[in-house]
Chains A and B, each alone.
Chain A
Amino acid sequence: MSDQNKDKQMRVTNAVRAYQREWIADTRQRVSQGEPFAICNGDDCEEILNVMGIPVIVVNYWHAIISTKRMDQYYQSLLKERDYPASIFSMGLACTMDNNSETAPWGGLPKPSIIVGGARTDTEMRILELWAREYGCKFWPMEYSLWHGIEKAPPPGWFDRIRDHWDELVDPVKLDYRVADQEKLIRYLEVTTGRKCSMAKLKEAMELVNEQMEYWRKARDLIAKTSPCPVSLRDQLSMYQMMWHRGTPQGRDFLKAYYEEVKERVDNNVATCPNEKIRLMWINALGTPPRWAQWAEEKYGAVCVTHNYMGIAVDAYARTIKNNDPLRTLAARYMLLFWTTPDWIAAQARHSNCQAVVTAAGIGTKAAYEQAGIPMVSIPSERDDEATREAISNYIESLS
């Protein structure tokens, strides 16, 4: 293999990391000078905050950073010591409770002016409320966020319709409420920060989102049809950091650069695992690569070539603005980004020529995936331990 087609870390992912480091340093500097900073739950107002020039960090991104730095066990212990339930969603709160810039990823976050979050689960609002109390900042509850459309079953193939026909999938009464909630938040931010929002800026942001996701689609499709896989899952997932700069020129430009570099890799026959024999799809909640990936590649040539986050990027974010109303279109997307249905996961897996999906216990059932036409390998946890390896080995060895 020539040096040209060795799998090195992508230039663009290094650039993304550098950008993120600069972004947090710059944000810290701006906050120290009195500028506002926000924390919000994923898909709960990032575009609005970005349009208003308020730097925002998304809760699930921060949790992924904590997990990647292997601080999750420590923070879970800290919560348990204080008699709180330890969950993935409470890691940021635990980091703030710990108040230790020596050990916190990035040295911890700057103090936010506001934390925004909704009632998508029983505990989300409560955890964010406690987090804001710990910081001594404002908590802004949003009533309707993701997954409040439980009255209707997801129609089969919803992922092919959601971009253009989102209005058929979201409850209009709840949507009215969500739009009003957003208007109130915008007004509050305008009053307290002096920053401005406008429909024109929101429209521009949504068009940038659509462009960004189109580049993602093109890159994903190239990776899907190329074997051996030209881009490691680690690098693919690294690009997800740019999801939190949605609706900005930087967000769009990084994805354009990503697509161009993926194409270059395909043209140069770069392979992340030249010995690729089996292609797998990895599913987890945090968007982190599997800890057992290297073992599976070396032992079986089994490569995780895609992840559910890739499908989210490609299928879930783009929206056609209806009635020239970007605020309502955006509200609908905040309320319904996707449903994790087996038919959607199976469609993604098949698109990437995967033989199976791998996921930790509790996310879906084997029967549901089999019904959707893709085998599911259920592993007991996300740890790279004997039990996990045994479950994966059992599946792979059953193929021969």
Chain B
Amino acid sequence: MCLAVPGEIIEITDRDPLTRSGRVRFGGIIKEVNLAYVPEAKVGDWVIVHVGFAISMLNEAEAERTLEYLAQIEAFNELEDDTLV
């Protein structure tokens, strides 16, 4: 029910603050999405979309940091394994 999917804004089609919307690409699919809740979003930005509404801007730097955190966990495992050997 709370499923939300990341997509990339490829065009802003309506600039009225309330009905602000744009075309968003999800893999090979393009859909019209309401952008009223991400007033700062522009073409090329990634947004998280739920039932036709962008509910947040995807923070690309934080997305990278999460992957780096996971890589650190991995590196820590290997370090521990080496210590055990």
Chains A and B come from one and the same complex: no
Q: Which residues of B contact A (CB under 8 A)?
A: none
